Amino acid sequence: MRGRGSQPSLQGMLQLPLLEALADHGGRARPRDLYDGLAERVGLDPAARQEVREYENQTTKVFDQQVRWARQTAVSEGLIAGERGVWELTDLGRGKLTRVERGKIVLVYSLDDGLAFLAHAEEAAGAIEPDSLSLIMTSPPYPVVRRDYGRFGLAEWLSWMSGLVGMWKDLLRDDGTLAINLMDVHVPGSPMLSPYVERFTLDAIDRHGMHLAGRMPWHSPTKLASLEWAVKRRVSLKNSVEHVILLSKTPNPSWDTRRLPSEPYADAEGARRRARSAGAAGRRPGGYHMDDAAFAAAGDGAIPSNLLVSGGVGGGGTYARRCREAGLSLHPARFPEALPRRVILLSTEPGQTVYDPMAGSNTTGKVALDLGRRFISSDPVVDYVAGSAFRFDQRSDFRMHADLSRIAV
């Protein structure tokens, strides 16, 4: 899961993931069936997961205790009911996870250069003008592979995303880019990885005629290892890289690496020495002759690499504080601002429009606006769209268009 970082309080942060975990279990579960999945969902450090505390001659896992407290608070707020041994989602609890009904699209807030909708991606696509977007950048919900919990599996996820790629292609300008952030998942019950990222990419190319413009591996040094395979059983490496697949509508996307911040040159003197000591008058293995001029600085900085290194999470400060004050849960799977920033700079000009169809806390919209681009965002979860408004509502051009407490779902 993405979007970890220092959070205001573990207990507050646990409420929405706890409700989601219960919903995944069909609305009822025993606490012991929830702890591990929940720890993974909120990106808890494995060491913190194992942390124990002695209390009145009893040893308790600190995290399990926190979850029980979060459940206690949720019980007092009427979100969870049930006995000590079985926890149950109430109607109010389900309401917290409320999604807008299918077929409906609601404009929730706007700015001079931004529009935020409450809608499923399928409906939102129908409301956007064809050939108008320079970039669609999103991080979809991951395929949940445990079919027994009633959420969709890989095959359904792939067919859903394929349909969306078809719709999104029509919305893109001819020089537009589609950037999709995906994380590896394991084959159920196995340390093997699912090749769904490859299947998604091939489908976008083969069925929809998209072009593979690039890949941007995102290395997150703070990313956590799989609890089951890397921590407990030690048969997998920690997978600290997520994927950003960059697809373009035509072979000529409007990319320009000069819009990226300049990066320091690598050690040019060292490279020159290595080339000389390689013999054959600096001839490289490929046969190219590298003379001293090849190492001269051109003045623009190093050629930007496709590797993005960023830990942490976007929009912590004000967004987190305002959500907390309003009693809304923070979005549990935000990506860091560095991710949309690099893609937006690479693929769009100021004034162009960026769309995030699975916007969550609307990190993409915030960064687009910071960079002088326009944004459109949509997400079907009422609380997420409501929370995302806190990123923008201090601006003088912010306008609220819908009372989310009255949205019929």
Ligand X SMILES: C[S@@+](CC[C@H](N)C(=O)[O-])C[C@H]1O[C@@H](n2cnc3c(N)ncnc32)[C@H](O)[C@@H]1O
Contacts with ligand X, residue ranges (CB under 6 A): 120-121, 139, 141, 314, 331, 333-335, 357-358, 360-361, 363, 379-381, 384
E strands present in 123-259: 133-138, 172-182, 211-219, 241-248
Q: Quote the least distance from Cβ 186 to ligand X, whole Å.
A: 18
Residue (320 or 333) nearer to ligand X, CB: 333
Is 17 or 360 the residue whose CB approaches ligand X more closely?
A: 360
Alpha-carbon Rg for the chain in angstroms: 23
Pick 275 or 333: Cβ nearer ligand X: 333
Q: How far is the CB of 375 from ligand X (least distance, A)?
A: 13
Paired with 367 in beta bridges are none
Report the C-alpha gap between 23 and 17 in whole angstroms: 10
C-beta of 304: minimal distance to ligand X in Å?
22
Nearest Cα neighbor of 116 from 381, 385, 393, 318 is 385
Angle between helices 62-76 and 10-24 (to 10 degrees): 80
Q: Minimum CB separation from ligand X for residue 13, in Å?
A: 14
Cβ at position 244, least distance to ligand X in Å: 12
At a CB cut-off of 8 Å and minimum separation 6, what does 365 contact?
Answer: 114, 116, 354, 356, 359, 375, 376, 377, 388, 391, 392
**Pick 141 or 350: Cβ nearer ligand X:** 141
State which residue, 19 or 275, has the beta carbon closest to ligand X.
19
Residue nearest to ligand X (CB): 360
Query: Residue 99, SS3?
Result: strand
Separation of alpha carbons 363 and 2, rounded Å: 13
Q: Tell me whether residue 135 or residue 333 sits nearer to ligand X (CB atom).
A: 333
Q: How far is the CB of 118 from ligand X (least distance, A)?
A: 10
